[in-house]
Chains A and B, each alone.
Chain A
């Protein structure tokens, strides 16, 4: 008497279910990471005052012209933040992100009184390049807690033209 061959498709099915269970663990890890960097219940209602984004002269640390939302790539530019409107007992910072999410300029973190000397937050040209890379640049003012930024309290998006 010959034994019937074992059907191996259910083995493949169970293997795939194990893979899927592992993937669900990956999703959970992703959600935990998301919750760590975007902790729920952190909305304070605070609003940072971003005065504007201006063309910037790095040699003289001065601003040129009016508030603008787009710049040619050959122009240097900077955001101006009014730190005085923020509570003194909290920690804040400001950052510029380029289109590749690289930090290309920052101030802080620190209490508003420590940041008072950093009202102008310029964008730096990445090392090895002559001008800014084109694309959307995001400027954010963030509130910190537990050593990480937990809430964006001010945001500006500007376009660097090609």
Chain B
């Protein structure tokens, strides 16, 4: 897939689309929120977390300035300079993620110590990893690249949690000091969590939509990225709650039980029903907007996605306490509670997802057939039925491995990805929803044919 992307990006863009300006505006806003959060950490948190937060931010800013100045001074050729800036940007992005992760680890897990936090994180890794695997398996027609799915999950775990911590704390502090404790306060807290957390998580999906348009094709992709962001957020929140409740209940000898219950509630029962469902709705809105022709409809679709996500999140937080848990039926009631409050939202999301998969499948099948009929050699008539079915694609790869080993398997995988990319590109072009020039299709065809030649050599 990576090679296919470079094939697409090889096509020159004569002007930068306006969406990049929107992406930069969102990114700058998010950075400002993180800067404000760092300053608040420094002022209000204990020495280690506060210093890590502020000095880490300063260090990254300093490295960014030095990198920018160095590239400008040493590299004079325009294309090379752009490539070096790109590399520096990626490295700085990774550094910023590491810095936020460190701050998160200190802020969210200090209550029970690093050892307990590490055990909690290890307990949550397999379940979250399993959920990400299921997500990619659901995306049966054109699987999204791991690097973007993991980036989305990392955003949810590290960036989104950092973005909301102070805003939620401030809201909560004001609410506790002004409202009557009870259902009214619960509703206020639910609005706070729904609005702030979905905005923080959803911004990742919007940025992916604006910047990685080649890998953001439709409603299915939106749901996959949104759910991945939600799973990342759920991971960090699970670790945070598990360590906190362990610290609260461990003096009573109930720490393990409290942490274990949180793990089950968040990493098993709520794995798909909670944050994954909420933020997937943001993705659904953005994904649908991707394929709408009218700007007003695009804005409505994105806003609708956010509204549903906030509504689903709000329902859970506001009305959770409306299901009092009786000790004798606790195990049944906990499951019923999740099914009754979150179940309808997850079912509604699955309806959109499966419809999206069906639409995508039908569209790709049509494009495979049209491309095969062109006789360019990029897609052969006998390959159409194979490309339409993930199981047959897998069997084709296995057959290739039998003839040419692992290299042949990987080459077939790349060939299939390139062919699906070509069909997807054709679909977007047919719908007038692409800003790459028409030459991009030819480039993708040449790439498919090159891969076919390499495969023929590998199995010869």
Binding site for B on A (CB under 8 A): 5, 7-13, 15-17, 19-20, 22-24, 26-27, 30-31, 33-34, 36-38, 73, 95, 97, 99, 101, 129-131, 133-135, 138, 140, 142, 149-152, 155, 157, 162
Contacts and interface: CB of A to CB of B under 8 A. Distances in A.
A3 to B, nearest CB: 14
Contacts of A150: 180
30 contacts: A5-B366, A8-B355, A9-B288, A11-B355, A13-B300, A15-B351, A15-B355, A16-B284, A16-B352, A19-B304, A19-B308, A20-B303, A20-B304, A20-B311, A26-B314, A27-B311, A30-B191, A34-B184, A34-B188, A37-B183, A37-B187, A38-B180, A73-B251, A101-B181, A101-B185, A133-B252, A138-B176, A138-B181, A152-B181, A162-B251
Interface string B406-432: 000000000000000000000000010
Given A19-B348, A33-B183, A133 B248 contact: yes
A139 B314 CA distance: 26
A26 B190 CA distance: 12
B202 interface: no
Interface string B257-287: 0000000000000000000000001001100
B310 A23 contact: yes
Contacts of B314: 26-27, 30
A37 B366 contact: no
Contacts of A134: 247-248, 251
B352 A12 contact: yes
B252 A12 contact: no
B214 to A, nearest CB: 19
Nearest to A35: B184
Contacts of A131: 251-252
A13 B292 contact: yes
B301 interface: yes
B192 to A, nearest CB: 12
B202 to A, nearest CB: 14
Contacts of B431: 7
B251 A30 contact: no
A38 B179 contact: yes
Contacts of B305: 16, 20
A21 B29 CA distance: 29
A17 B304 contact: yes
Interface string B354-391: 01100100100010000000000000000000000000
Would you list the 7 A-B pairs with minimal beta carbon distance, nearest first? A23-B311, A37-B184, A20-B304, A38-B184, A34-B187, A20-B307, A9-B291
Most buried by B among A8, A11, A157: A8
Contacts of A34: 184, 187-188
A37 B284 contact: no
B115 interface: no
Q: By CB atoms of chain B within 10 A, which of A13, A16, A129 has the most?
A: A16
A33 B348 CA distance: 25
A31 B315 CA distance: 12
Nearest to A157: B176
Interface in B176-223: 176-188, 190-191, 218-219
A23 B194 CA distance: 12
Contacts of A27: 310-311, 314
Q: Which of B252, B304, B305 has the most CB of A within 10 A?
A: B304
Contacts of A8: 355, 359
Given A22-B311, A155-B177, 16 more contacts: A8-B359, A9-B219, A12-B355, A13-B300, A15-B351, A15-B355, A16-B352, A23-B307, A23-B312, A24-B307, A26-B311, A30-B191, A34-B187, A140-B180, A157-B176, A162-B251
